[in-house]
Amino acid sequence: MKRLLFTLAASFLTFGGAAAQSQTSRTGSPDESHSQRRQERIERRAARTAEYIHYVDSLVEARSFSFIPLTFQMQPAGSLNQITNTGYELNFYPSWTDVYLPYIKGITPPYYFTVINYALPKVDGYQAIRTPSGWKVTFSSSMFSANTYNFELDIISATGSCTLTIATPLYNTVQYSGQLYRN
């Protein structure tokens, strides 16, 4: 009985090895198969990246997108502040702009935090300029005050990440880092 089981196990291993060997000879060497799968993955990733770049470009060209900030910092060397409130955003619509962002006021300490909260029916000098890495969106607004706020949004099309800079002659510049989303 032991001899029979041993013979069956040996024959099973022999036929299994032969089947695996014949399968390898049909599909080519494992290195060729691996190289082909790797090339297919590279092509799929490049296609997904191109599709996302097209998506970001269409949002900016339609002027229908949102910037969601994740951090902000007073320039040139203020402390980096995390934003955990998901309600803060800068929305662009074809006919108006909505600003709801935390902001740091002051030229010298003590600085204080405030919130810029305006629905702007008109902004001055809106431009969306294509750059090698994505887009640069600029505009300015007085936001119903005597002070002019200059906005510059740098968008990286391949990742959707953005850097917003708000500069004004009255206060220090504040810079935000975040992500681009569809309205």
| Residue 168 covered by a domain | yes
Is residue 3 scored above 70 in pLDDT?
A: no
| Residue 157 covered by a domain | yes
Number of independent structural domains in the chain: 1
> How distant, in Å, are the alpha carbons of 12, 29, 71, 73, 75 from that of 108?
83, 69, 21, 15, 12
- pLDDT tens figures, 127-172: 999 999 999 999 999 988 888 999 999 999 999 999 999 999 988 8
- pLDDT tens figures, 46-101: 999 999 999 999 999 999 999 999 999 998 878 889 999 889 999 999 999 999 99
| Residue 5 covered by a domain | no
Domain that holds residue 90: 60-182
| Residue 9 covered by a domain | no
| Residue 32 covered by a domain | no
Q: What does the alpha-carbon distance between residue 65 and residue 45 come to, in Å, rounded to a whole number?
A: 24
Mean pLDDT for the stretch of residues 92-116:
90
3-state secondary structure of 180: strand
pTM: 0.77
